[in-house]
């Protein structure tokens, strides 16, 4: 653990130097660093124990994590509830008619242009459809992404975000986008566990969904150590990663490995309302964040082991860990935030607005905490 403390010291020094930047490192930089980081390739599939192996000792976390969209963020199309409960999905764009038809144990994706048609069996479904679900299929070793996605708000198909074509050159292009292996590896890196073994995509043995070891690193050693009576559990030597020990900037970038850190979004060139899909990017530009504060890490508001809290009141505690809640009291080091002249509760309902993202046909929560002014343009 000594190197971690040493690193923290260096990071603090770096922070002082580049304090003008709201974010520290891109995910690529973190991955190049030593130590575990989410989406990192693993050395061997044998290093993973699988989430069921954690259940006997961490039963509460295991049970509540079962219900999260993260845990269920990718699945074989044959098991996708969305497809089962919507057995006939369709969409029309110009002369092209799109359909996904689900039978007993498979879903078929068909596109016709009135004269010809192409048809494939879907392999993978991505997304729990809180917002939407996208589909991948294969022809030999080549992966394809369906040009259409299921959107919960539409209860039907529409163009996959950022993949709409006004005039596809042929039926094939209208139907799919071939996805290069490198990109497939990235999709699975964020939506599944243990998919990248030594830089190779291991489709046959991956664990669908973001499960325990996607965030805590391979756990087989930890399970072995904890099962061995000769080892006294010692908080510093339990052979598994706990991001609770990261500093606030790193902790937010940790979730940013998949959700998009400040640098990730900058480097990708994403702008406008679409950036609200990246909570880490928006959060660190809040005035509340300052140079980073543990009281505003993702885990101050979200338990990654449990479903999302959807009652605004559930977040008040986090705001009030910094903000006064009575007029006439002066801010201090322990409560640096002023009191609200308008409300005393449900803070996020006014200060973290829901923003409509057109390509997603849905809203996302803007994590830039602020005073929202009626009619203002989206603050970049
Ligand atoms: C045989 C029991 C056992 C099993 C199985 C087990 N753990 Fe643990 N785990 C422990 C104990 C004991 C600790 C010590 C700290 C504590 O009291 O929580 C611990 C601590 C942890 C910590 C905190 C580490 C730290 O340094 O703060 C994490 C994270 C963790 N376990 C994750 C997992 C994951 C993921 C799995 C499945 C791959 C797993 N555990 C399987 C018993 C177990
Ligand atoms: C390995 C990638 C990965 C990491 C690391 C990760 N997430 Fe996620 N997260 C996802 C994916 C993928 C989804 C979308 C699942 C879906 O809706 O299909 C998601 C969804 C969520 C949601 C939305 C849940 C809902 O009900 O819609 C929250 C909240 C969330 N993550 C919080 C966190 C926090 C907090 C951290 C850091 C502790 C974190 N995530 C780290 C991949 C990740
Ligand atoms: C850098 C990590 C990352 C990569 C790469 C990635 N995703 Fe995601 N994906 C996420 C996270 C985090 C979420 C949840 C937040 C959000 O909605 O944007 C998500 C959400 C989704 C959703 C649900 C819609 C939604 O917004 O909740 C779908 C569908 C999806 N991803 C499909 C894909 C497909 C298909 C690929 C590859 C072509 C892919 N993703 C690549 C991280 C990633
Ligand atoms: C999306 C990322 C993510 C996933 C998936 C995840 N964890 Fe965690 N886990 C965290 C974070 C972040 C912390 C640190 C919590 C904090 O900062 O309060 C943590 C902390 C823990 C701890 C230490 C708790 C403590 O009180 O010190 C244990 C044990 C643990 N997780 C077990 C698990 C198990 C078991 C699973 C699978 C069922 C799992 N985690 C899945 C992100 C995750
Ligand atoms: C100060 C509290 C707070 C913090 C800190 C916070 N969130 Fe949120 N988050 C919320 C609220 C409030 C919602 C909306 C809940 C609802 O009504 O559905 C939300 C929703 C989300 C969602 C669901 C999609 C959406 O946009 O509605 C994701 C994903 C998410 N947060 C990820 C993160 C990540 C990753 C971090 C760390 C960078 C983070 N959050 C930090 C309060 C917070
Ligand atoms: C880590 C401590 C911390 C947390 C947690 C925190 N804030 Fe703040 N917030 C501050 C500080 C400090 C300021 C004052 C910044 C300044 O004006 O210099 C501030 C400023 C604000 C402002 C004024 C912003 C502006 O543009 O003038 C609003 C509104 C606000 N906070 C609301 C919230 C809400 C709502 C929450 C919970 C979702 C929250 N804060 C959580 C510390 C925090
Ligand atoms: C009904 C909507 C609403 C709710 C609920 C609400 N606020 Fe506000 N808040 C506002 C508005 C509007 C302003 C701007 C007032 C002004 O400029 O006159 C504001 C201003 C603020 C400011 C800036 C104060 C200053 O002196 O500059 C802070 C900090 C703040 N709110 C925090 C919070 C916190 C913390 C909560 C929850 C305890 C909360 N707000 C609940 C609407 C709300």
Residue 258 in contact with ligand 2 by CB distance below 6 A? yes
pLDDT digits (tens, 9 = 90+) for 135-188: 999 999 999 999 999 999 999 999 999 998 889 999 999 999 999 999 999 999
Report the C-alpha gap between 310 and 144 in whole angstroms: 35
**Residue 301 in this model has a pLDDT that exceeds 50:** yes
Is the pLDDT reported for residue 9 higher than 90?
no
Residue 6: pLDDT over 50: no
User: Which amino acids bring their CB within 6 angstroms of ligand 6?
Assistant: 287-288, 293, 295-296, 315, 318-319, 321-323, 336-337, 347-348, 351-352, 369-371
Torsion of CA 323, 327, 331, 337, to 10 degrees: 30
- What does the pLDDT read at residue 97? 97
Q: Report the pocket of ligand 5 as residue ranges, CB < 6 Å.
A: 252, 255, 259, 279-280, 283, 296, 298, 300-302, 308, 310, 315, 318, 348, 352, 364-365, 367
What pLDDT is attached to residue 24?
A: 83
What separation in Å is there between the alpha carbon of 162 and the centre of ligand 7? 36
Which residue has 């566990």 as its token pair? Answer: 193
- Which position has the token pair 């598994």? 240
Contact (Cβ atoms closer than 8 angstroms) between residue 296 and residue 289? yes
Which residue out of 371, 372, 374, 375 has the highest number of ligand 7 atoms within 8 Å of its CB and is therefore the one to mutate?
Answer: 371
Q: How far apart are CA 23 and CA 26, in angstroms?
A: 8
Cα(65) to ligand 4 centroid in Å equals 10
| Mean predicted confidence (pLDDT) in 269-281 | 97
Question: Quick check: CB of 50 below 6 Å from ligand 4?
Answer: no
Q: Would you state the structure tokens that stand for residue 329, as one six-digit string?
A: 């009291």
Nearest atom (ligand 6) to Cα of 294: 1
CA 66 from centroid of its chain's CA atoms? 16
Alpha-carbon span 270 to 278, nearest angstrom: 10
């Amino acid at each position: 653990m000594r190197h971690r403390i040493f690193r923290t010291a260096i990071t603090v020094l770096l922070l002082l130097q580049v304090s003008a930047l709201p974010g520290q490192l891109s995910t690529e930089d973190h991955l190049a660093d030593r130590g575990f980081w989410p989406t990192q390739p693993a050395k061997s599939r044998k290093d993973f124990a699988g989430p069921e192996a954690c259940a006997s000792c961490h039963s509460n976390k295991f049970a509540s994590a079962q219900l999260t969209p993260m845990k269920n963020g990718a699945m074989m199309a044959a098991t996708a509830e969305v497809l089962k409960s919507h057995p006939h999905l369709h969409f029309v764009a110009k002369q092209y008619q799109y359909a996904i038809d689900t039978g007993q144990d498979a879903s078929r994706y068909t596109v016709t242009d009135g004269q010809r048609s192409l048809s494939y069996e879907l392999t993978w479904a991505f997304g729990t459809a809180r917002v939407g679900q996208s589909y991948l299929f294969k022809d030999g070793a080549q992966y394809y992404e369906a040009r259409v996605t299921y959107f919960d708000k539409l209860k039907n198909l529409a163009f996959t975000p950022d993949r709409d074509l006004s005039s596809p050159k042929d039926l094939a292009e209208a139907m799919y986008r071939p996805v290069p292996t490198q990109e497939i590896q990235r999709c699975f890196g964020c939506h599944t566990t243990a998919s990248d073994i030594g830089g190779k995509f291991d489709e046959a043995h991956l664990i669908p969904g973001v499960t325990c070891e996607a965030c805590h690193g391979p756990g087989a050693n930890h399970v072995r150590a904890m099962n061995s009576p000769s080892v006294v559990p010692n908080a510093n030597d339990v052979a598994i990663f706990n991001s609770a020990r990261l500093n606030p900037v790193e902790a937010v970038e940790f979730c940013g490995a998949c959700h998009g850190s400040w640098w990730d979004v900058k480097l990708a060139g994403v702008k406008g309302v679409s950036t609200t899909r990246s909570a880490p990017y928006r959060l660190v530009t809040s005035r509340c964040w300052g140079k980073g504060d543990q009281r505003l890490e993702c885990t101050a508001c979200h338990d990654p082991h449990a479903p999302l809290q959807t009652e605004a009141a559930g977040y008040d505690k986090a705001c009030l860990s910094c903000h006064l809640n009575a007029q006439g009291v002066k801010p201090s080091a322990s409560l640096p935030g002023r009191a609200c002249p308008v409300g005393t509760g449900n803070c996020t309902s006014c200060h973290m607005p829901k923003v409509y993202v057109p390509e997603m046909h849905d809203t996302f929560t803007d994590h830039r905490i602020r005073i929202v002014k009626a009619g203002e343009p989206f603050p970049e």
